[in-house]
Amino acid sequence: MEDEEHYRGGWELNSKGKLQLKAGNKLNKVGLGKIFYNPNMPELDDYYEPWTYDYQTLFGPEKKHQPVARAKSQITGQTMTLTTGPNWDDDLAGSPEYVKQDPNMDKIETDIKTNFEQAFMMYLPRLCEHCLNAPCVASCPSGAMYKRDEDGIVLVDQERCRGWRMCMTGCPYKKVYFNWKTNKAEKCTFCYPRIEEGEPTVCAETCVGRIRYIGVMLYDADRVESAAETPDQSKLYEAQLDLFLDPNDPKIIEQALADGISEEMIECAQRSPIYRMAVKEKIAFPLHPEYRTMPMVWYIPPLSPIMNYFEGRDSINNPDMIFPGIDEMRVPVDYLASLLTGGNVPAIKSALYKLAMMRLYMRAKTSGRDFETAKLARVGLTENTATSLYRLLAIAKYEDRFVIPKSHKEKVEDAQSEQGTLGYDECKGCSLAPQHGSMFKKAEAGESTNQIYAESFYGGIWRD
Amino acid sequence: MADFGSILLWVIFPYAMMLSFIFGTIVRFVWFRAGITAVSSEMLEKRKLMIGSLVFHVGIILAFFGHVLGILIPKSWTEFFGISNEMYHLFGSLMMGTGAGLLALAGMMILTYRRFTNARVFVTSSWTDLVVDVALLITIILGLASTLSGPLFPKFDYRETLSVWARQLFYLSPNWHLMSGVPVIYKLHVICGFLIFGFFPYTRLVHALTLPWQYIFRRYIVYRRKPKAD
């Protein structure tokens, strides 16, 4: 599913060096009948057909043979044969097969492949990136998709969506979905009613590992297009960095205030954990910048396979070991660069050096060992910045991770009439739970709670 | 009595269907906008849709313009431009009309077959989807049959009867007597066509009214902001 040469999501440069949707330009969409049939759209079977099991036969009358719960399609209700799908890779089961299909592997040298398989497992949550140069928005013929001027959240206007499905294929991260009950596109809303109130998204708030951070970034919207037209793929990461504005620069502050950006927003931008990690320390990277989308969910490359490699080899006493150590681990570095920087390996390396050095420094500090602090300078850290970066990444306090200004909707709309509402219109059919949850159905049919409990809880398991 | 039947069929019925079309469209676009969609089932089945949908849409759009040409443009106009009656009927009506009709028919047959035989598509179809499919198929068959039957009725010129009546509908003074000499097959096609008009806005067909023309002219990235309070 990740092969965008096949599914044609994102942008490319045309022969004149101008930005163009990979799926084809505007005229070609309407003129060549792509609106009647989208050739790039994945089919249900490219994901998998959802199914449930026929549990009732397990609890029927006594039979001669052991009853079996057969798989039933949740779409047609027919018995179906289960086949493998893209969501089926559980860690090492079948990895050599999946690794072969990974388009990111084509970009790195072949002799590394098997090594990689032995070396590490990596999990990469792919979210809607709320791109600066969002191809889903650009693909939408109806103009139903838009980027909010206030906070950059990309949304689908359900009133205007006509189900042409260009956004689904236009997004190279494949993060716009088709609801086959409402026949409209749906996507991550970045929990905008929460963001408007200065609260983090639910995925970030509930993250057990506390690895999700949300903060304000000021950027120059007028330069987005030219930045996305940077010819060299490996320069796109730097081109995007260049778009971000320094919220401490008095000139920027003056201009921001003149453009109607609130002081609260500017103050949050100054304390933004994202600005710190992405621009100041350069330890976070955009996902697949080569799609020219200017994505806004950035990832810190994982250190664990590298640390495992040289930890226990006296690295605290000899921190210089991390440099050859990281260089030797060409596998993850190459691979990470193909994921996160469009092939810019030095950028990934310097981030890993920095993270590893910070870790060694803090280990020496907390275990009371000596550490030659001059070594920190080699990766662009000082004792202060190393300690505060450690606080931000490892202690990860709630108020450090989430620095979100309120949107002050009360200034633009009648807040009283919004009281007690969801912040968005309720949509019948948007949630499939009422259709599939047997408890909802039973409750609607008038069964009492006790009855539902007796029917659903048996054999020590709650069966919905 | 015969008169009453004619008035019912060629005056009351067309206006009822046109009113239904206007009423439904307004209701749909003003109060039920969120429900307007192309109702794509491409997610569920792709191969038959590719051929069926492309061929059907090209055919039906050509047929639409053919109808505009044949009905809305008076005979005197085409004659003014030096197009003789024989030329019009041979090239315009018979050849191009048949071509468009065959495309639409082939596409619609594939789409209808797909809708009724593919289990995934069938169970996710609403009853209006099924009705629309069958109604379009019947109307296209009748329309194509009318076009092909042209040479069978050498004395009948729809541009002097049917088209005049159809234009009169817009001036609110339809002369139903004009329809008396029209062959049955044309009549059936007209009735089916108006029936489709009548339920057009209440079904998936409504997506044809939301052609996204503005896409060609707009910039790529759309920004929206909450309007500032005064």
Name the A residues in 153-182 with CB < 8 Å from any B CB.
158-165, 178, 180, 182
- Does B106 have pLDDT greater than 80? yes
Q: ∠B217-A230-A242 over CA atoms, to 5°?
A: 105
- A78–B224 C-beta distance less than 8 A: no
Q: What is the mean pLDDT of chain B?
A: 90
- Does A113 have pLDDT greater than 60? no
CB of A406 closer than 8 Å to CB of A198: yes
CB atoms under 10 Å from CB of B40, counted, come to: 24
Specify which residues A457 forms β-bridges with.
A462
Cα–Cα distance, A146 to A192 (Å, whole number): 14
Residue B210: its chain A contacts at CB < 8 A?
Answer: 142, 162
- pLDDT band at A412, cuts 50/70/90? confident
- Does A304 have pLDDT greater than 80? no
> What is the pLDDT, as a whole number, of residue A293?
95
Rounded mean pLDDT of A138-167?
A: 92
Burial of B225 (0-12, 13-18, 19+ CB in 10 A): exposed
Say which residue the tokens 């997506």 belong to: B207
pTM of the model: 0.85
- A150–B227 C-beta distance less than 8 A: no
Burial of A248 (0-12, 13-18, 19+ CB in 10 A): exposed
> What is the pLDDT, as a whole number, of residue B1?
53
Cα–Cα distance, B87 to B82 (Å, whole number): 10
Q: Which of B53, B119, B225 sits opposite A36 (nearest CB)?
A: B53
Q: Domains of chain A by range and CATH? A: 4-42+127-198 (3.30.70.20), 226-401 (3.30.70), 432-464 (no CATH)
Which residue out of B42, B103, B124, B214 would a mutagenesis test of the A interface target, given it has the greatest number of A Cβ atoms within 10 Å?
A: B42
Sequence-ordered list of residues with C-beta below 8 angstroms from that of B17, at least 6 positions apart, any chain: B194, B195, B197, B198
- Does A116 have pLDDT greater than 70? no
- pLDDT band at B156, cuts 50/70/90? confident
> What is the pLDDT, as a whole number, of residue A310?
60
ipTM: 0.86
- pLDDT band at B217, cuts 50/70/90? confident
Rounded mean pLDDT of A158-176?
A: 91
> What is the pLDDT, as a whole number, of residue B225?
87
- pLDDT band at B133, cuts 50/70/90? very high
> What is the pLDDT, as a whole number, of residue A443?
76
Cα–Cα distance, B7 to B15 (Å, whole number): 11
**Through-space distance between the first and last CA atoms of chain B, rounded to whole angstroms:** 66
- A134–B227 C-beta distance less than 8 A: no
> What is the pLDDT, as a whole number, of residue A108?
66
CB of B33 closer than 8 Å to CB of B207: no
Q: ∠A64-A69-A73 over CA atoms, to 5°?
A: 145
DSSP per position, A46-112: HH---EEE-GGGGGSS--SS-----EEETTT--B------TT---TTTTHHHHHHH-HHHHTS-GGG
> What is the pLDDT, as a whole number, of residue A389?
96
The whole-angstrom distance between residue A429's C-alpha and the CA centroid of its chain comes to 25
Report the SS3 class of residue B142: helix
> What is the pLDDT, as a whole number, of residue A450?
79
Nearest chain B CA: its distance from A383 CA (Å): 43
Higher pLDDT, A60 or A301: A301
For chain B, the structural domain boundaries read 2-33+49-209
Burial of A279 (0-12, 13-18, 19+ CB in 10 A): middle
State how far the alpha carbon of A192 is from the alpha carbons of A154, A155, A202, B50, in Å.
10, 9, 10, 37
> What is the pLDDT, as a whole number, of residue A154?
96
Rounded mean pLDDT of A210-214?
A: 95
- Does A426 have pLDDT greater than 70? no
- pLDDT band at A348, cuts 50/70/90? very high
> What is the pLDDT, as a whole number, of residue A44?
86
DSSP state of A342: S
> What is the pLDDT, as a whole number, of residue B4?
87
- Does A289 have pLDDT greater than 70? yes
Percent of chain A beyond pLDDT 70?
82
CB of A134 closer than 8 Å to CB of A224: no
Rounded mean pLDDT of A133-137?
A: 95
Rounded mean pLDDT of A10-27?
A: 84
In this complex, is the C-beta atom of A262 within 8 Å of any C-beta atom belonging to chain B?
no
> What is the pLDDT, as a whole number, of residue A306?
64
Residue B42: its chain A contacts at CB < 8 A?
Answer: 37-38, 41, 43, 165
Q: What is the mean pLDDT of chain A?
A: 84
Instruction: Show which residues on chain B lie within 8 Å of chain A, measured between beta carbons.
Output: 33-34, 36-46, 49-50, 53-54, 57-58, 119-120, 123-124, 207, 210, 212, 214-216, 218, 220-229
DSSP state of A223: G
- Does A428 have pLDDT greater than 60? no
> What is the pLDDT, as a whole number, of residue B155?
81
Token pair listed for A162? 């006509």
Sequence-ordered list of residues with C-beta below 8 angstroms from that of A407, at least 6 positions apart, any chain: A150, A151, A195, A196, A197
Helix axes B47-67, B97-117, angle to 10 degrees: 140
**A363-384: per-residue pLDDT in tens?**
889 988 888 888 899 999 999 9
Residue B37: its chain A contacts at CB < 8 A?
Answer: 161-163, 182-184
- A412–B226 C-beta distance less than 8 A: yes
Cα–Cα distance, B193 to B191 (Å, whole number): 5
- Does B199 have pLDDT greater than 80? yes
Residue B45: its chain A contacts at CB < 8 A?
Answer: 43
CB of A113 closer than 8 Å to CB of A104: no
Residue B118: its chain A contacts at CB < 8 A?
Answer: none
- Contacts of A36-39 with C-beta under 8 Å, sequence gap 24+, read A36/B53, A36/B54, A36/B57, A37/B42, A37/B49, A37/B50, A37/B53, A37/B54, A38/A164, A38/A165, A38/A166, A38/A168, A38/A169, A38/B42, A39/B50
Q: Which of B57, B124, B229 sits opposite A36 (nearest CB)?
A: B57
C-alpha dihedral (A357, A360, A365, A367), degrees to nearest 10: 180
Among A106-115, A326-335, B173-182, which stretch is predicted with the lowest mean pLDDT? A106-115
Give the ranges where A135-271 is alpha helix by DSSP (H).
Answer: 135-139, 166-170, 192-196, 202-205, 224-228, 236-243, 250-258, 263-270
Specify which residues A298 forms β-bridges with.
A286
Give the ranges where chain B is alpha helix by DSSP (H).
Answer: 2-7, 13-31, 47-67, 75-80, 85-87, 97-117, 119-123, 127-148, 162-170, 184-199, 214-217
CB of B10 closer than 8 Å to CB of B18: no
Residue A413: its chain B contacts at CB < 8 A?
Answer: 226, 229
What is the CATH number assigned to the segment(s) B2-33+49-209? 1.20.950.20
- Does B180 have pLDDT greater than 90? no
- pLDDT band at A212, cuts 50/70/90? very high
Nearest Cα residue to A400 out of A384, A383, A388: A388
Which residue out of A1, A22, A37, A40 would a mutagenesis test of the B interface target, given it has the greatest number of B Cβ atoms within 10 Å?
A: A37
> What is the pLDDT, as a whole number, of residue B105?
97
- pLDDT band at B78, cuts 50/70/90? confident
> What is the pLDDT, as a whole number, of residue A31?
58
User: How do the residues of chain A divide into helix, strand and coil, expressed in percent and rounded to 5?
Assistant: 45, 10, 45
Q: Residues of A349-375 as b/e, b for ≥16 C-beta within 10 angstroms?
A: bbbbbbbbbbbbbbebeeeeeebeeeb
> What is the pLDDT, as a whole number, of residue A459?
64
C-alpha dihedral (A276, A282, A286, A287), degrees to nearest 10: -120
Percent of chain A beyond pLDDT 90?
45
